[in-house]
Amino acid sequence: MVFERKKIETGAGCVHCSHENNIEMPPDSFSEALEKPSVLLHSCCGPCSTAVVERLVEEFNVTVFFYNPCITEEEEYNRRRCAQISFIKQFNLENTGKFIIKYTESDYRPADFLNATASLESEPEGGARCRVCFRQRLEKTAETASLKGYDLFGTTLTVSPHKNYGIISETGRELAVKYGVSFLDRDFKKKDGFKRSIELSKKYDLYRQNYCGCKYSKR
């Protein structure tokens, strides 16, 4: 099957990897022709998205949504964004004519996270502050999925053994009702999902961070 490619601009040039920030995509009709449900997949980072995307591409038309105001340092945000884009570009080239992963992002607004968690600075990692963070990111994803007409929304967060699946699942299901779009409720850490994400991160030579994202998680 031959199709003409088009480019999606993804922002300023990335200084942290050798890939340009242009992800080549086929026309929308290519994805639509696959006749699979569409999912807007919130991604916390490139490494976590690898194993999740690998699992979902056979079943869904996947669009990765990079929205992480919790990454409070801009340089760190740019490194993670670059890793995300790098993975998608490599994956798409590797699977030309077979699968295609789309990419979209929201504005980088760390003040939104800091304002939402202003009274929770002393909370331990994994506590009430993280619950607010999960909800903020999932709500933006659900809202966007509803506005853009996706069949489902989901998140890569559950691939991490450090993230509470129960809280994420509960939040996602609640937001599904609020926004009228189905939540892809899956615990991606099962069946060695986290281990697989490490393997794929090495394969694609991705930057892999050693803390969650906000300044509090570095303590």
pLDDT of 32 > 50? The answer is no
Domain count, the chain: 1
pLDDT of 31 > 50? The answer is no
Q: Report the share of the chain in percent with pLDDT over 70.
A: 84
The rounded mean pLDDT for the chain is 86
Is residue 214 domain-resident? yes
Q: How far apart are CA 68 and CA 44, in angstroms?
A: 6
Task: Name the pairing type of β-strands 6-9 and 22-25.
Answer: antiparallel
Is residue 3 domain-resident? no
Radius of gyration of the chain from Cα atoms? 17
Is residue 4 domain-resident? no
Rounded average pLDDT over 40-59: 97
What is the b/e burial string over 190-216, where b = at least 16 CB atoms within 10 angstroms of the residue's CB? Answer: eeebbebbeebbeebebbebeebbbbb
Residue-range definition of the domain harbouring residue 71: 10-218
How do residues 143-184 score in pLDDT, each as one tens digit? 999 999 999 999 999 999 989 999 999 999 999 999 999 999
| pLDDT band at residue 57 using 50, 70 and 90 as cut-offs | very high
**Residue 34's pLDDT is what?**
60
Instruction: Name the 3-class secondary structure at 204.
Output: coil
Is residue 176 domain-resident? yes
pLDDT of 78 > 90? The answer is yes
Is residue 137 domain-resident? yes
Is 65 in contact with 42 (CB distance < 8 Å)? yes
How do residues 9-29 score in pLDDT, each as one tens digit? 334 446 445 444 445 454 444
Instruction: Name the 3-class secondary structure at 43.
Output: strand
Is residue 71 domain-resident? yes
Is residue 185 domain-resident? yes
CATH of the domain at 43: 3.40.50.620
Is residue 5 domain-resident? no
**Residue 211's pLDDT is what?**
73
